[in-house]
Amino acid sequence: MINENLTELALGLEYYVGPDAVVFGRYQHTALRTNAASGGYDADEIRVGLRIRR
């Protein structure tokens, strides 16, 4: 029997520059733990951007 455990942690931040623009940043960490022969993994994702509304 294969057991898997997936854990995700996310953190986000948004800064409203004005009524039409938002600067944002996000971080997400994902960890998969398993007893399968292929093993688990850790992944980190970082996103930054500018959202313009019109």
pLDDT digits (tens, 9 = 90+) for 14-44: 999 999 999 999 999 999 999 988 889 999 9
Q: How many whole angstroms separate alpha carbon 48 and alpha carbon 35?
A: 34
**What does the pLDDT read at residue 39?**
86
Structure tokens at 11: 């953190």
**What does the pLDDT read at residue 51?**
95
Domain-wise residue ranges, the chain: 4-52
Q: How many whole angstroms separate alpha carbon 12 and alpha carbon 33?
A: 24
Task: List Cβ neighbours of 21 (8 Å cut-off, separation of 6 or more).
Answer: 50, 51, 52, 53
Q: How confident is the model at residue 54 (pLDDT cuts 50, 70, 90)?
A: confident
Structure tokens at 6: 């997936």
pTM of the prediction? 0.76
As a residue count, the chain comes to 54
